Amino acid sequence: MTRLSLNNEPVQIDANTLLSDALVAWGYGNDKVAVAINGEFVPRAQYPQQQLRDGDQVDVVSPVGGG
């Protein structure tokens, strides 16, 4: 198991989980979200290749509409 922080909440995922798979498991599915890992923005094209590691700080934010 890999332990990490998701939006400042501790979570556990299977070892070698990819960011794209984790987002689905966390309920984000195909939502348009922005993701930062350890303070670094991750381009959407890299989600399927980005492996999550023990101790990562993952921040997921959804755009807010308004005007």
Q: Which of 14-23, 28-37, 40-49, 51-60 has the least mean pLDDT?
A: 28-37
pLDDT of residue 39: 97
Fold (topology level) of 2-61: Ubiquitin-like (UB roll) (3.10.20)
Spans of all domains in the chain = 2-61
Average pLDDT rounded to a whole number, residues 21-34 = 91
Rg (Cα) of the chain, in Å, rounded? 12
Q: 61: closest CA among 4, 8, 3, 25?
A: 8
pTM over 0.85? The answer is yes
CB 38 within 8 A of CB 4: no
Of residues 21 and 30, the one with the higher pLDDT is 21
